[in-house]
Amino acid sequence: MINRNDPCWCGSGKKYKRCHFFEDAASGKKNGSTAPRMKEFPPKTMKEMQGMQRAGVFNGELIDFIRPYIKAGISTEEINTFIHRYTIDHGHIPACLGYHGYPKSVCTSINNVVCHGIPSKDALLHDGDIVNIDCTTIVNGYFADSSETFMIGSVSAEARHLVMVSAEALIRGIDAVKPGLPLAAIAEAIEPFVLSQGCSVVHQYTGHGIGKKFHESFSVYHHIDRECDNVVLRPGMTFTIEPMINLGGWPVTLDENDGWTVRTADGSLSSQFEHTILVTADGSETLTRTPSQIAAGVRLLVDGTAFV
């Protein structure tokens, strides 16, 4: 069976994915033999897309709300309390709280914690730290998910480089979303860039379909994997892009005591940015990018933090 990155069977010299891949996937044939069809997932209805848009706006506003509080001296438990109260006060639901037993309303991942860091009154932010704040909200039955990595005070050059690479990785992943392309186009836009910057992409944790459920139908790979399912992007699909980028190697470990905290296996720093995306007729809409950021044309800012 020919793989996507193999030379095309037609002899053009191009990779199969750049030549006859889509034509063969549509017909179910390749060079006279059976080829796997691209997997299709039902698009959201107009009502569902509008529900996702409203959820995305609030989730982005939640990140904007917490941003001024992310400073040296604050505990991650205090961050959790601010986020929980703001969400509840606006009539919405913190999606993380109680999800498969997760005990808090937000994930706070400091330095070598890749994801799912549990807020604690004993975990204080210090000058030089980097911390990812990952928020998911349920708004009238629809989920939206976004995260941002903050640089606390004077961080090292290596930490700043990592944060900038992870922010740019998300931008490149979003820019790769086009209807008719395979979902794998996102990983193909992210991983080569990240590797060129001397960093790595975590393999074990991915983005995901999202809607009326926290995690829907399919995974969004950020690293290139030939075994990845052949999912085609269609208008109306919604999912997260959330590359987790390590300064060292990509392997990670799961904390055996709490069953949630994921750390880099080699102890290196990790950074992540995330948005919830809607595929449109001519590209994509970033649902969790706030109206103020859209109005300002914000893509990447460096002023002690970074966001896209």
The region of weakest confidence among 17-31, 39-53, 126-140, 150-164 is 17-31
pLDDT at 243 (0 to 100): 97
**Domain range list for the chain:** 1-37, 43-296
Kind of pairing between the strands at 275-279 and 238-241: antiparallel
Mean pLDDT of 107-115: 98
pLDDT at 21 (0 to 100): 65
Return the higher-pLDDT residue of 153 and 11: 153
Distance CA 50, CA 109 (A): 31
Read off the tokens for 141: 């039955």
pLDDT at 303 (0 to 100): 47
- Is the backbone of residue 101 left (phi > 0), alpha (psi -120 to 50) or beta? left
pLDDT digits (tens, 9 = 90+) for 191-225: 999 999 999 999 999 999 999 999 998 899 999 98
pLDDT at 89 (0 to 100): 98
Half-sphere exposure of 279 (CA within 13 A, CB side): 26
Read off the tokens for 239: 């999912």
pLDDT at 62 (0 to 100): 96
Mean pLDDT of 224-239: 83
Pure H helices in 176-275: 184-196
Question: Which residues, listed in sequence order, are joined to residue 148 by a DSSP beta bridge?
Answer: 133
In three state form, how does the secondary structure of 22-83 look?
A: HHHHHHCEECCEECCCCECCCCCCHHHHHHHHHHHHHHHHHHHHHHHHCCCCCEHHHHHHHH
Return the higher-pLDDT residue of 198 and 10: 198
Domain spanning 43-296: which CATH class is it, in words? alpha beta
Q: How confident is the model at residue 304 (pLDDT cuts 50, 70, 90)?
A: very low
Provide the mean pLDDT of the chain.
88
The region of weakest confidence among 3-12, 118-127, 258-267 is 3-12
pLDDT at 2 (0 to 100): 62
In degrees and rounded to multiples of 5, residue 217 shows phi and psi of 50, -55
| Contact partners, residue 57, CB within 8 Å, separation at least 6 | 287, 288, 290, 291
Distance CA 51, CA 290 (A): 15
